[in-house]
Amino acid sequence: MYQERMRTGKLRKLADAFPVVVVSGARQVGKTTLLRHVFPDYDYAVFDPSLDLEDARGEPDLFLRNHPPPLVLDEVQYAPELVSAIQRYVDASGHRPGMYLLSGSQQWQVFRSLAESLAGRAAFLDLRGFSLQELVGAGASTCWLTRWLEDPRAFVERARQTNPQFAGALWDWLWRGFLPRVTALDEELVPEFWMGYHRTYVERDARLAANVEDWQQFGMFLRLVAALTAQEINYSQLGREVGMTPQTARRWLKVLDGTFQWFEIPAFEGNLLKRVSSKPKGYLADTGLVCHHAQIRSPKSLGGHPLLGPLFETAVVNEILKQASTLPGRTGFHHWRSAGGAEVDLLVERDGVLYPFEIKLTANPSGYDVSGLTAFRRAHPALRIGPAAIPWNTIGPAQTLRQDQESPTAKTTRRKASWSPPH
């Protein structure tokens, strides 16, 4: 059964305004399913690296003449020759909206060519795995991050009156991950899904993206990266662990990023006079893939596992990025760590205001858990800093963290934002 996606409305608006819309994202995030559901009347063409469909690469103009718009071109990175032909057809049509919908799972030459050749003609939409509200069939509702940014106090009061819809399921979400297909599988089939996903990615996408020749070493690298999710990136350490140069480690991380398996959150350096970390934090794009590479065979195995905290942070950061993708305009993301060790896991920047998020895997956050938030405010008194939030393990509804639980120097009341989105 189809589950409504949060980005459906945005996709429709883009197709009504632009001749070309490019939907990108990792394998199995639901790009094709979304396009087929929203645009059932479009013609479809699916490309493959080993087969030149109807000589599309050799005769791109002839291919497009045989498949007039509206047309969906799936996995278009395997037919890069079509880009110039699409440009000519769009220009000849007078930039008619909704002509071509393109999808792909690699941010490489084709997508750079699309951005350059179709400037002013194309809009881009990134798709990730399911968000929490999509999992419960509420993908068409207003995202919880919007409600938090608009009125944090009202958000908290509503959350306090709402029973969490995911209580007791935390370990299962983290272990399964959030790709659409895996969420519906029996538990015994989940490891098989991720094994096949890894083989498809390593043996196909990585090879085509960057000509990776040593599969064993690349597999070791991917397992190491999975174990380091939600940590600051040390390229020299990555290289030493796998026996490669820091330059190769950087290049292979770019391969992971270019195939939507990895992303980085840059360090915040708002005050250059302060000694702060300048290293980005890295995250694997799905907790299910982390569990696969860590050889965690069941949700129960997560109990007491050293990766449980990083898995929770990875899931929450992914969730916030999914929510932010529905907001209009640009949203900035940073993390912050002082020389003394104080840190804020995530800073969400909207309209010049920074909203701190400190992610804790605990049922009872305490005053100590907001020490990093207090330190950040103290280090940057001139910045516009909004209410902070502590996404935490959903044991009970969100509550207000009293001011007397904080440092006396705190300037505003911090509030806990429940991990499960209220509806």
Find, among 106, 390, 139, the residue nearest to 259 by Cα.
106
* Structure-token pair, residue 359: 């992610």
Which ranges of the chain have pLDDT less than 50?
164, 166-168, 272-275, 394-423
pLDDT at 398: 33
pLDDT at 210: 66
What are the residue ranges spanned by the domains of the chain?
8-126, 133-405
Cα(21)–Cα(114) distance, integer angstroms? 10
HEC-encoded secondary structure of the chain: CCCCCCCHHHHHHHHHHCCEEEEECCCCCCHHHHHHHHCCCCEEEECECCECHHHCCCCHHHHHHHCCCCEEEECHHHCCCHHHHHHHHHHHCCCCCCCEEEEECCCCHHHHHHHHHCCCCEEEEECCCCCHHHHCCCCCCCCHHHHHHHCHHHHHHHHHCCCCCCCCCHHHHHHHCCCHHHHCCCHHHHHHHHHHHHHHHHHHHHHHHHCCCCHHHHHHHHHHHHHCCCEECCHHHHHHHHCCCHHHHHHHHHHHHHCCCEEEECECCCCCCCCECCCCEEEECCHHHHHHHCCCCCHHHHCCCCCHHHHHHHHHHHHHHHHHCCCCCCCEEEEEEECCCCEEEEEEEECCEEEEECCECCCCCCHHHHHHHHHHHHHCCCCCECCCECCECCCCCCCECCHHHCCCCCCCCCECCECCCCC
Superfamily of domain 8-126: P-loop containing nucleotide triphosphate hydrolases (3.40.50.300)
pLDDT at 110: 67
Cα(24)–Cα(258) distance, integer angstroms? 11
Look up residue 166 and give its amino acid: F
Residues 379, 380, 381, 387, CA torsion sign:
negative
pLDDT at 175: 96
pLDDT at 411: 32
Residues 195, 198, 201, 203, CA torsion sign:
negative
Find, among 226, 320, 334, 227, the residue nearest to 278 by Cα.
334
pLDDT at 402: 31
